[in-house]
Structure 1
Amino acid sequence: MPYWMKLPFASLLLFAASLHAEPLQKVFSDWQITCNNINSCVVRNFPGDNGLVMTFSRSAGSNDRPLLRIDYGNRYTGELQGAPLKDNLLLDGQRLKPDLKHWDVQPHHLATAHAISIDEFLAQVMDADNIQLLYRPNATISLHGLKAALLLMDDIQGRVNGMSAWVKRGNRAAMDVPPEPAIPEVEPPLRAPTPLTRDETTGLIDFGTWRVNTDECSLDPQRREVSVAPLSDDKALLLVSCEMGAYNVIDLAFEVSRSEPYVAKGLTLTLPFVPPDRGDKQLELINAEYDANSGELLTFSKGRGLGDCGTATRWQYNGRQFVLAEYAQESTCDAWHGSDDWPTLWTSKTEPVAPTGTVEMTP
């Protein structure tokens, strides 16, 4: 019988609660760890703007799909010049020569999903101070915080004192770990809504521009934008730009009847968890985009104009409300990766919808 099934009753209750894992993003010295709602975790060093980053990722359960990669250069820097990584890495000033038999070796990218190769590499570097690029001394990976981050990953995935642990290894069988939590399923509407007619669009935009309650908006009415799109055959989504910063626009959202007399109800986005560095589950609609064909609502909050940090979310309309489908966050602004590569704190399984519908916009 697996170890995790032999736990006392109180522990089993805690394990049952973990079937919907609490996401986290945390920093240990020079390393950041992010784990999502199915206990899939990613750990990387920072800052990445020196061009050199090492990343570990691993899923929960026995089918853990581990991955270790070292990258020199990214989408912001482009391909950097210099000799191949495999011959030019230093570990505390001495040549680092990992066994690359089971690695994908490219000039500026090294990666392996081979469990034994990852274990061997960690044995080499875990207690060292840094990894440095020989021909570019400021391209350095600090190893301070790596062990603490990986230990937390082991703990979250139930690997501590087991053979599959990366840090605190024991004699428990590698397969003897809690299963991966169930991934939530998000159901879209049975079909896409009927597109708005020209008259419906004109009437709703007029309503959103002049009559919907936007008393709390700081943005001058002359600068506000109103967009409308079908939610269902009898309801529409109305977005009104409310506040504007250097690179973020905050919208108010309303569910409005598609025909007169218009009845508007304010919409709020409620997360199923409290994000790091936040005190509640309410999410503002920032840089919102809605696709009526799929019923998906996207938000994208930039931490700065470069777009290398912030929060990106995807919500699915299910015919009654918007349900969170995906939440990604990068708290470290270090020009390493864009929103399409940010670590996820929430993921789900979503079925597609047949594409129909339109969106109209006016200033």
Structure 2
Amino acid sequence: MIPLRLAPLILVAAAPAMAASGDPMPARLRVFQDWIVACDNGGRCEAASLASEDSALQDAGLLVRRDEDGALSVRVADMTGKAPRATVRVDGRAVASTPLTRQVEGTWQGAPAKALVSALARGRKAAILTPTAHPLSLRGAAAALRYMDDRQKRAGTTTALVARGAARYRATPPSLPLVRVVTPPGKAAPAIPGAAINAARRQYGCATDDGSPVSADAYRLDARSTLVLLSCGAGAYNYIVQPLIWRDGRLTPAAFDYAFTFGEPKPAGQPQVLVNTDWSRDGRLSSWAKGRGLGDCGDAAQYGWDGTRFRLLSAARMTECRGAIDTLGVWRTRVVPAPAR
């Protein structure tokens, strides 16, 4: 068990070395004391409560989400997993209550969510009752909600959460980028020669003598290309791979339009690094790089193969290791099938 106040063991960088024109630009997170906010490229905003101290945890926390169409919801989570119900109390008054699914999470929507968010913005002291009272810091809550108003161009309008005014909301949310993704053919991947795997390990510095698991999992992408996830070290909670492409009898680094930096920046020509990867039958490659073993911070990304490179389909982040109940979305796309290759 990792001590609760242990500083993060892995630091995840914020951006790639360079993004070409038209490549993804995931949103940056903003911290307002004990709250953190992200507004993605489609106009959706999320704000999460944080523990008041660095590297600490919350026994229970909140996440406020406002979609681009104005729909508002608030999630509550009990990290102990023992409570059948949660109630949020602000300045001594019970504002909202909900049952917890599987004794973990509950959600408020519509009028109850609006009433709760309004109380959080105006309140001075709050707690989440499960029925044990868990302190909920409101430092920065109003500023975080005001930031959401500003990013969604709702400040000064009747639809604002905090910065309310008399104007009508007239803004149009941005359109999500369209990404065409190849559906895998469903055939088994070809056998990759051991000599090619060993040569790639030497070329890209993925040694097998450090006690880490050794693997080279292969998945067919299209008629000519196969993804190979070359194991490249592991820690207590992060399993690292280098994604390579097997085509025409050669292994070369897989191309990505965006990938979060993990560890030290890699020299040009080296493969990207993905962490705790998963490959799905519908052709989705996922990565989840934990900032610490507790899993309350890190970078999550999902990619799809367009026939030439892996395209970022969605991404979420949590840059503060302070007990947030979830990552915050920073990138979304619209995905359609690409022509078979």
Q: TM-score range by the shorter chain?
A: 0.7 to 0.9
Correspondence 1:66 to 2:72: yes
- Give the Cα separation in 1 of the matches to 2:285 and 2:138: 39
Mapping of residues 238-317 of structure 1, within 5 Å: 238-257=228-247, 262-271=249-258, 284-291=273-280, 293-317=281-305
TM-fit CA distance, 1:217: 1.7
1:78 is the counterpart of 2:74: no
- Work out whether residues 269 and 284 of structure 1, in 8 Å CA contact, stay in contact via their aligned partners in 2: no
Match of 1:3 in 2: none
- Counterpart CA distance in 2 for 1:235 and 1:188 is 14
C-alpha change, 1:239 and 1:54, in structure 2 (3 Å) is: closer
Match of 2:18 in 1: none
Measure the CA separation in 1 of the matches of 2:284 and 2:108: 35
Question: Does the C-alpha gap of structure 1 residues 21 and 194 become closer, same or farther in structure 2, counting only changes over 3 Å?
Answer: closer
**Cα deviation per residue 1:259-314 (whole Å; 9 max; x = unaligned)?**
xxx22322243328x89xx999x9621223334x4222111212222333222211
The 3-state SS of whatever aligns with 1:254 is: strand
Question: What is the root-mean-square deviation of aligned Cα atoms in Å?
Answer: 3.4
Quick check: 1:21–1:181 contact (8 Å CA) kept in 2?
A: no
Query: What is the aligned counterpart of 1:106 among 80, 83, 99?
Result: 99
Number of equivalences: 301
Structure with max Cα Rg: 1
Q: Which structure is higher in RCO with an 8 Å CA cutoff and minimum separation 6?
A: 2
Corresponding residue number in structure 2 for 1:206? 194
Mapped to 2, the partners of 1:193 and 1:124 lie a distance apart of: 52
Which amino acid counterpart does residue 236 of structure 1 have in structure 2? T
Give unpaired runs (5+ residues) of structure 2: 1-20
- Corresponding residue for residue 233 of structure 1: 223
Paired position in structure 1 for 2:9:
none
Q: Which amino acid aligns with 2:127?
A: Q
Other-structure match for 1:43 = 47
- The equivalent residue for 2:143 is 148
**AA paired with 1:91?**
V
Shift of 1:39: 1.7
Query: Does the 8 Å contact 1:21/1:39 carry over to 2?
Result: no
**3-state secondary structure, aligned to 1:269:** coil
Distance 1:21 1:172, change over 3 A: farther
Q: For residue 40 of structure 1, report the CA deviation from its aligned partner.
A: 0.5
Q: How has the CA–CA distance of structure 1 residues 317 and 111 changed in structure 2, closer, same or farther, with 3 Å as cutoff?
A: closer
Flag the structure with higher helix content. Answer: 1
C-alpha displacement of 1:237: 1.9
Counterpart in the other structure of 1:171: 166
Could you tell me how far 1:141 is from its partner in structure 2?
A: 0.9
243-252 or 31-40, larger mean C-alpha shift: 243-252
TM-score calculated relative to the size of structure 2: 0.75
Query: TM-score scaled by structure 1?
Result: 0.71
- In 2: Cα distance, 1:245 partner to 1:50 partner: 25
Amino acid at match of 2:241: D
Alignment of 1:16-31 (within 5 A): 23-31=27-35
Distance 1:211 1:110 in 2: 51
Residue among 188, 200, 204 paired with 1:195 = 188
Deviations 1:74-104 (A, max 9, x none): 4xx11237xx655xx5434x3x143x6xxx7
- Flag structure 1 segments of 5+ consecutive residues without an equivalent: 1-16, 354-363
| Residue identity opposite 1:27 in structure 2 | V
Task: State the secondary structure of the residue aligned to 2:314.
Answer: strand
Contact 1:194 1:233 in 2 (8 A): no
Using the TM superposition, give the Cα deviation of residue 332 of structure 1 relative to its aligned residue in structure 2, in angstroms: 3.3
